[in-house]
């Protein structure tokens, strides 16, 4: 039973988690053109890389990631390399999660970017734990998702109706460039964000150490043998 538990934890940590993070990295930049229905992959803007760095700093400060246990000189080289690849996948997935909820260009792009930058920067000086940080990220990404894929997309859709006409009147003279994407783009973004949150739930602060239980069993046997030899000597 314990062997199966250790094997499943290793499978989850070394296979499932990196796969989910890479999937988020691919889906976060995927868009569907409204006219041709072609796939469009938008590379993460520079600001999303800055946001990913700030978010990674929050992960470390909140205790969601213990860097000293993820990368340590006492661990085998392959283990450190695997952990490094997972952290790089987390960084790329974080950048793409921001990319999926950022408007692609125009004034709204910079408004959303400033909103993210201000929120993450002010949080650098707040007291956080891992659970509180996860709740804050769910609210942050959920708010941005609703604003971009429900409100903004509805305002500037060709069939936006009277709500679109009111917004156009209020924002008359302000250059707001919103590319037209198919509605399925919102579903892709929602799926990417859901996978990203799931990966954060699966990621343990201290990574799984392969063979750790076997080492513990060996240590217990050595202690038992030492105790028995002490009793015989007495």
pLDDT tens-digit series, residues 124-181: 888 878 888 889 999 999 999 998 888 777 665 555 555 555 555 555 545 555 677 8
**Distance between CA 217 and CA 119 in Å, rounded?**
47
Identify the pLDDT of residue 157: 58
Contacts of 151 (CB under 8 A, 6+ apart): none
Identify the pLDDT of residue 105: 80
**Distance between CA 99 and CA 29 in Å, rounded?**
6
Q: Across the chain, which distance is largest between two alpha carbons, in Å? A: 95
Identify the pLDDT of residue 141: 94
**Distance between CA 118 and CA 111 in Å, rounded?**
11
**Distance between CA 21 and CA 191 in Å, rounded?**
12
More confident residue, 85 or 217: 85
Beta bridge partners of 32: 39
Identify the pLDDT of residue 145: 93
Cα-Cα-Cα-Cα dihedral sign, residues 182, 186, 189, 191: negative
Span 112-134, mean pLDDT? 88
Identify the pLDDT of residue 215: 41
More confident residue, 117 or 221: 117
pLDDT tens-digit series, residues 32-89: 887 888 898 999 999 999 999 999 999 998 888 988 888 888 888 888 898 999 999 9
Among 3, 146, 158, 134, which Cα is nearest to 65's?
Answer: 134
Using alpha carbons, list the distances in angstroms from residue 53 to 4, 117, 229, 230.
36, 11, 55, 55
Identify the pLDDT of residue 23: 95
Q: Are 114 and 47 in contact (CB under 8 A)?
A: no
Residue 221 pLDDT grade (very low, low, confident, very high; cuts 50, 70, 90): very low
Percent of the chain with pLDDT over 70: 76
């Amino acid at each position: 039973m314990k062997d199966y538990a250790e094997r499943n934890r290793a499978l989850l940590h070394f296979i499932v988690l990196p796969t989910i993070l890479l999937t988020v990295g691919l889906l976060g930049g995927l868009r569907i053109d409204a006219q041709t229905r072609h796939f469009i992959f938008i590379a993460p803007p520079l600001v999303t890389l800055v946001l990913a760095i700030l978010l990674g700093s929050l992960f470390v400060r909140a205790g969601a990631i213990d860097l000293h246990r993820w990368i340590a000189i006492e661990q085998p080289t392959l283990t450190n390399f695997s952990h490094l690849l997972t952290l790089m996948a987390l960084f790329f997935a974080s950048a793409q999660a921001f990319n999926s909820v950022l408007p692609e260009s125009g004034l709204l792009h910079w408004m959303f970017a400033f909103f993210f930058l201000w929120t993450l920067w002010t949080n650098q000086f707040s007291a956080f734990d891992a659970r509180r940080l996860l709740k804050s990220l769910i609210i942050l990404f959920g708010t941005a998702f609703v604003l971009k894929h429900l409100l903004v997309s509805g305002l500037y859709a060709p069939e936006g109706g009277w709500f679109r006409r009111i917004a156009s009147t209020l924002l008359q003279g302000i250059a707001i460039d919103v590319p037209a994407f198919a509605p399925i783009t919102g579903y892709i973004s929602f799926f990417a964000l859901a996978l990203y949150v799931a990966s954060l739930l699966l990621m343990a602060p201290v990574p799984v150490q392969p063979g750790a239980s076997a080492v513990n069993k060996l240590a217990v046997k050595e202690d038992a043998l030492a105790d028995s030899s002490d009793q015989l000597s007495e």
